[in-house]
Amino acid sequence: MIEHVYRRAAQAEGIDTVLVATDDARVAAVVEGFGGVARMTSSSHRTGTDRLAEVAATLTCDVVVNVQADEPLIDPRMIAQVAAPFSGDDRVQMATLRRPIDEPADYTNPGVVKVVSDLSGYALYFSRSPLPARFGVATPIRPYRHVGLYAYRREFLLHLASLPQTPLERAESLEQLRALEHGYRILTLDTEFDSIGVDTPDDLERVRRLHPDAQPVRAGDRSAGTSAHARRL
């Protein structure tokens, strides 16, 4: 699965470097075996953001895109999309993707992270609970799910990783809430593309049905680490 994600990510336009950050020597060996670039990191990181920041500190780039290695259906256009706003707006420090929730079961599924944004597209909150409430209002608000793909300005990523974890980050088990709780803004972008994170056996079977050549080894294996994509503006 790592090779599949790596090669799809390498197809994204505007990306200078693709590498895998991991604390597992077996994963690094697999990546190097198919000709990829792997970076060993500390095993003490609290989140993927912190692992990514360790590698970003060694890079010469303006923007870093974080792709989870358990996203075998990632579309290269999603990576280009989340990185695009940094070229035109110096105020953007962190960006991510969202798409409408179409399946009612996803709205109540805690494994599907929901996001609400302000009128300018900046995130107000992320939650595993149903968000927002859709009942008892004159004009129902369409719910959105968060697509866990992030882009950061490199210096902001290093700063974010240096900040202490926050109460809501721990309560929701969502590391992006650290940025919001410390008063920073996250731009959310609508995407037509979709991806599936492989966290459960059901996710695994769904991916195999949709894309047989992806062939993830097992569900819930986070040892693959983070695939980082560096871009110079």
> What does the pLDDT profile of the chain (233 residues) look like in tens digits?
788 889 889 999 888 889 999 999 999 999 999 999 999 999 999 888 999 999 999 998 999 999 987 777 789 999 999 999 999 889 999 999 999 998 889 999 999 999 999 999 999 999 999 998 765 566 678 899 999 899 999 999 999 999 999 999 999 999 999 999 999 999 999 999 876 655 556 655 655 665 665 444 443 333 344 555 555 54
The CA–CA distances, whole Å, from 96 to 83, 146, 147, 155, 161 equal 9, 8, 7, 17, 17
Looking up tokens 């991916």 gives 207
Encoding tokens for residue 5? 């994600």
pLDDT at 103: 87
pLDDT at 46: 85
Identity of the residue numbered 65? V
To the nearest 10°, the Cα dihedral for 37, 43, 46, 50?
-30
pLDDT at 52: 94
CATH number assigned to the domain covering 2-231: 3.90.550.10
Q: Which of 194, 186, 197, 191 is nearest to 98 (CA)?
A: 191
- CB–CB of 175/182 below 8 Å? no
- CB–CB of 143/132 below 8 Å? yes
pLDDT at 204: 59
pLDDT at 220: 38
pLDDT at 70: 77
- CB–CB of 61/232 below 8 Å? yes
- This prediction has a pTM of 0.84
